[in-house]
Amino acid sequence: MGKVMVLNFSLIVIVITLRLTVTAIESPSVNLPVPRSQDPSSAAVVNPVLPGGGEPTPAPMINAASPGANGRPGPALTSNGKYLCGRHERYKTCQSSTCGEKNCRNRFRLFPKCTKDCVSKCFCRRRFYRNEKGHCVRFYQCGKWIKSLKEHIEGIFKSRAE
């Protein structure tokens, strides 16, 4: 019995290690940020989505003008015409609400159970996880991973015992 548990645990660790390695060497082209205009006035334009994802704000078009001082039109806002999401987020159309992104609680689930619903919103980019505060963070920024891994492994053994 003890050898079986050690083998199961070793297999789980190997599978998790392989999954993380494969994820780390995937094509980075999907994760590149959307290039912004080199116009210095565009650096001041920030329109992030509230933490936790949700409906993104449509970006203002290039010819739109923001109000300036004394009610006069200000400088034109620049945009690529796409939705603006928060840091490390990407707008996705028609994604499963359970599989569209990973979060810190389910980061060790290799095969999540996906629903067939269709949600369009800002999701965390690949290799980022939504934390409890609703921000997209790296794997190591999720918190105490040893505790999470222990809970996940205990859940696997508990479900097999039933």
pTM of the model: 0.44
**Residue 3 pLDDT greater than 60, yes or no:** yes
- Could you tell me which residues come within 8 angstroms of residue 70 by beta carbon, excluding any fewer than 6 positions away? none
Higher pLDDT, 148 or 135: 135
**Residue 1 pLDDT greater than 50, yes or no:** yes
pLDDT of residue 45: 40
pLDDT of residue 55: 54
For each of the domains in the chain, give its residue range(s) and CATH number, in order of start.
48-161 (2.10.25.10)
Cα–Cα distance measured from residue 133 to residue 130, given in angstroms and rounded to the nearest whole number: 8
Q: Are 142 and 108 in contact (CB under 8 A)?
A: no
